[in-house]
Amino acid sequence: MEHKVINSVEALLFGSGRPIRLSEIKSILENTGLSVELSEIKRAINDLEMRYEGTSLKVTEVASGYRLQIKEDHGHILSALWNEKAPRVSKALMETISIIAYKQPVTRGDIEDIRGITVSTRIIRSLLERNWIKVSGYRDVPGRPTLYVTTKDFLNDLNLKSISELPELPEIEENEEKDILSQAI
């Protein structure tokens, strides 16, 4: 019985190709005639983790659930296989997604204020196509600019469970106010 649960969970992880939640696994198993508790599924995942020790696989928990991935040690082999690297991400795009991640929800104007340069439509479109950001609404000011927030897919793609796992945003390097003034010529 226990064995059956573990193998069913493994089949789902392998077959889904995307993160899958414990609750989703539970309802699929129940619909196909295997009644299990969430704790049992969690235990099955722990068992799988142990089973995969010493192999190239591992189970990872990300924002949208659990998924099966290949350990990073083997990343370079697969890069060679696919022959093409993941599309290069520009500095401008990284700055934009960072501002959205830490200040969300933000408008293009907010991003421009910080970056000091117009946010190109190309960048926003590229982020929307990657499904890293989504429209969360419109700010209630004249022009009703679009508000953007980051998505779960953004966290999934960076192997993160939640936004709080992003690197900490550095504080402004504080210095004595009078220092600034004394330097003024």
Partner 1 sequence: MQHNSLAQLEIPVVMGNHLEELPDDLFIPPNALEIFLETFSGPLDLLLYLIRKDDIDILDLDISKITDQYLEYIELMDSLKFELAADYLVMAATLAEIKSRLMLPKESFEDEEEDPRAALIKRLQEYKRFKTVSEKIAILPRVDRDFFIASAKVPKLQESLLKEESEINITDLFTSVVEVLNRPNYKNSHLIDFEELSTKERIQILLDILNNKNIISFSKTLRKPEGKKGVVVTLLASLELAKDGYIELIQNKSEELFIKSVRGI
Smallest separation, CB 73 to partner 1 (Å): 9
Report CA-CA distances (Å) from 19 to 28, 49, 69, 175: 14, 15, 10, 45
Binding mask 134-163 for partner 1 (x = CB under 8 A): ----------------------xxxxx---
Site mask for partner 1 (CB under 8 A), range 27-66, x = bound: ------------------------------x---------
Closest CA to 153 of 26, 67, 48: 67
Contact 34, 8 (CB under 8 A): yes
* Interface of this chain with partner 1, residues 72 to 131, rule: CB under 8 A: 72, 74-75, 78-79, 82, 85-86, 89-92, 94-95, 97-99, 101-102, 114-118
User: For residue 134, which of 98, 109, 159, 105 has the smallest C-alpha distance?
Assistant: 105
Q: Are 66 and 59 in contact (CB under 8 A)?
A: yes
Residues that bind partner 1 (CB under 8 A): 14-18, 57, 67-72, 74-75, 78-79, 82, 85-86, 89-92, 94-95, 97-99, 101-102, 114-118, 156-160, 166-173, 175, 179-181, 183-185
